[in-house]
Amino acid sequence: MAHLCEMQAKVAVKADASKKHLPDKQDHKVSLDSMLGGLEQELQDLGIATVPKGHCASCRKPIAGKVIHALGQAWHPEHFICSHCKEEIGSSAFFERSGLAYCSKDYHHLFSPRCAYCAAPILDKVLTAMNQTWHPEHFFCSHCGEVFGAEGFHEKDKKPYCRKDFLAMFSPKCGGCNRPVLENYLSAMDAVWHPECFVCGDCFSSFSTGSFFELDGRPFCELHYHHRRGTLCHGCGQPITGRCISAMGYKFHPEHFVCAFCLTQLSKGIFREQNDKTYCQPCFNKLFPL
């Protein structure tokens, strides 16, 4: 008991001596370590056994008081610090990387994936798309801003789009109705067409034979193409594709340019006109004498 009282007196003397000098933070740490080491030695000198709780992984000195077990080692609480900011971690949550401890803030700042939209660290759920990482709420259509549903997304120029906007903005447009062409289509006249839209511009009938005629950027059947071109025979009403005769503001197949009375072909191009009809000279003289 006397030895214990003597030890307490020595500690009190050292405490009084420490009050005479106000050290800075580093000196205080060194002094505290020295006092603890000296106190442990004096306890052993007095025959009082101290049971260390291991050696601190940082300072390698025995731990006699509070201890933190982390990373498979023991630490003085004040020596278990963040490897980046050097702040004491204590009993707070921490992350381990390559055998080093980091506080939550620094770990996420240094190592967490970054959102391609806001560039902030992703702390919880992460979405991976287009070879980048995203906060799920930040992966949305570049045009309408809606978050993608089960139908997924389409990519254009490294930007994501919903199906509706992608088709409206980038799908080829039908040459007939100007709506997006999504599935079956025809390619003609340097454009794409819905099959049901590739029809004659006048009669709207499809081209069953596979052939059509182009006029002013629109397709036409043969009859209506020649009608618009003014190359229908005034006699038979059919298209003229070869030789033709022009008379009275009309065009005729040569074989259909005939006398309206005797039906003789007016092959020499000599005719008489009456009431919008053509006559050979003999018939005209008979029917319309002077």
Q: Which tens digit of pLDDT belongs to each residue from 95-145? A: 888 888 898 888 888 888 899 898 889 888 889 899 889 999 999 999 998
Q: Give the helix/strand (H/E) hosting 17.
A: helix 2-19
**For residue 211, which phi and psi values (nearest 5 degrees)?**
-110, 150
Confidence band, pLDDT 50/70/90 cuts, at residue 8 = very low
pLDDT of residue 97: 85
Angle, helices 25-45 vs 2-19, to 10°: value is: 170
Tokens encoding 208: 């069953």
pLDDT over 70 for what percent of the chain? 81
Domains plus CATH for the chain?
61-111 (2.10.110.10), 127-169 (2.10.110.10), 171-229 (2.10.110.10), 245-288 (2.10.110.10)
**In which element (H, E) is residue 278 found?**
strand 277-279
Q: Give the pTM.
A: 0.42
Residue 201: C-alpha distances to residues 15, 221, 248 (Å) = 107, 8, 28
Query: Rounded CA gap, 52 and 114, in Å?
Result: 44
**Nearest-angstrom CA–CA distance, 101 and 58:** 12
Given this model, what pLDDT does residue 246 score?
Answer: 82
Range name among 11-15, 136-140, 172-176 with the lowest pLDDT average: 11-15
pLDDT interval class at 235 (50, 70, 90): confident
- DSSP bridge pairs for 102: 95
